[in-house]
Amino acid sequence: MPVSPAYRPDPRFFDLGPDFGDPVSAADFPQTILRVRNDRAAADVGLETLSDDEWLSSFGRFHPLPGQPGPVAMRYHGHQFRTYNPDLGDGRGFLAAQLREVGGAQAASDRVASDSAPPGRLLDLGTKGSGQTPWSRRGDGRLTLKGGMREVLAAAMLESLGVPTCRILSLVETGEALERNDEPSPTRSAVMVRLSHSHIRFGTFQRAAYYGRKDQIEVLLEHARSLYHPSVATGDAPGFLAAVVEASARLTAKWISAGFVHGVLNTDNLNVTGESFDYGPWRFLPHYEPGFTAAYFDNSGLYAFARQPEAVFWNLTQLAGCLKLIADSEPQVAALTEALNGFGPAYIRHLRAAFLNRLGVKSLGEAADQRLLDASLALLRDKGEALRWEPLFFDWFGGFSSGARALGGVRGKAYQGEAFDAFRFALLEHEPDRPERLEHPMFAAAESEEMLIDEVEAIWSAIDQGDDWSPLYAKLARLEAARIAWAL
């Protein structure tokens, strides 16, 4: 198989053995029709050189990639809506491979692999919809095509906004008719592959703690520390927790600044690297609404937009409780508590930075940055449905450099009143950060790229009714252009 010279297999999780995962096989699908192939993500791990047939062999039939031992269904538990579930695990997916990232953030054309080059991040190829496993319970192990399409869109939108996220490497339609109770059935089926920076979940630690296996917690700690937080000393559980807290705080702040609602913030849906993944019910805010939920079954609003920081912190307390089992002294327990309590200050710090980044301005210090954060939220709250979330950041990107563009644009009349005056004053305090980014053609458009539910449904309708994939591909192309424009 012609993987590129940059391809570096490094299947480290597989070394942990049967206590942490079960060897499995993919389902034998009636068809494998390639629908989405993410060559930019593939280039990050040396897989962009695969032909379409080879791609389907690897990501539709799941013949192992070179140097990979074969799929394993990962074992974990988790709290689901605050109720502990010991019957979880990879029920419709598996870890297919682990590979080293090539060249960090360099462009694919500039990447050079050599035996002497330092290893890049360890990345996972994880599946969804690949068939039944020992942890499927009564499920069919499948993924609907609509569900796969929605994950492709969520990940692409989040990446365009600079949110730490998995990337959807592949979406293959599989030719089965699935029955579901929450969407019209029968419906089309798919198998998806995500490229993610670790599938070690908080729930992976919870499973070991549930069985009282301190030895497994110690093994997991060393595995995750060495691979994902190597600056933490060997055996330093508080240091490891502090690193996970910091990464989780940054992720949560990025979600909020993007107006994103994950929908299902269970402990099996958060990992130790602070990169989001597993997008089932998700939404982006149409406008500021703290109680906005993404999951139709979230009747209490547990994972509503504004409650996401609380949800992430609660989940971190569960991880801390697992690590407490291996704390061998009161000072270590106290250090775990201190690390956990660092979430609040870290979240606020990252939230200020995230809003400045979204507005394209430089930091002026904690007080001024906080004024801008507060004024931005106050303006969104004051305008309500008259001002959508995403367009605010599009209109005013670059600070005062965008004043004429924003005030002369389609939302110009919304930018008036006391809340706007406070926002403009706070924004004018901050210098633009790389204002040359405003020269990108995206900023000449009247509207920003959004990901609201009506557009998602329209994209699916084109596929469902006419097998027309062009709206999806056009949206992905626009999101890629937006990613470049925001990040230049």
Torsion of CA 464, 466, 471, 473, to 10 degrees: 80
End-to-end C-alpha distance for the chain, whole angstroms: 35
Burial (0-12, 13-18, 19+ Cβ within 10 Å), 34: middle
Catalytic hit among 268, 298, 369, 395 = 268
Cα–Cα distance between 262 and 265 in angstroms, integer? 7
What count of other Cβ atoms lies within 10 Å of the Cβ of residue 74? Answer: 26
Number of residues that make up the chain: 488
What count of other Cβ atoms lies within 10 Å of the Cβ of residue 194? Answer: 27
Cis previous bond, 186, omega within 30: yes
Decide if 50 contacts 2 (C-beta within 8 A).
yes
Cα–Cα distance between 486 and 249 in angstroms, integer? 22
To 10 degrees, what angle do helices 366-383 and 418-428 make?
Answer: 150
Q: Which DSSP symbol is given to 400?
A: G
What are residue 34's DSSP bridge partners?
Answer: 172
Active site residue 268: yes
Q: DSSP states of 240-305 as a string?
A: HHHHHHHHHHHHHHHHHHHTEE-S---GGG-BTT--B---SS-EE-SB--TT--S-TT-TT-TT-G
- Positions marked active-site: 268
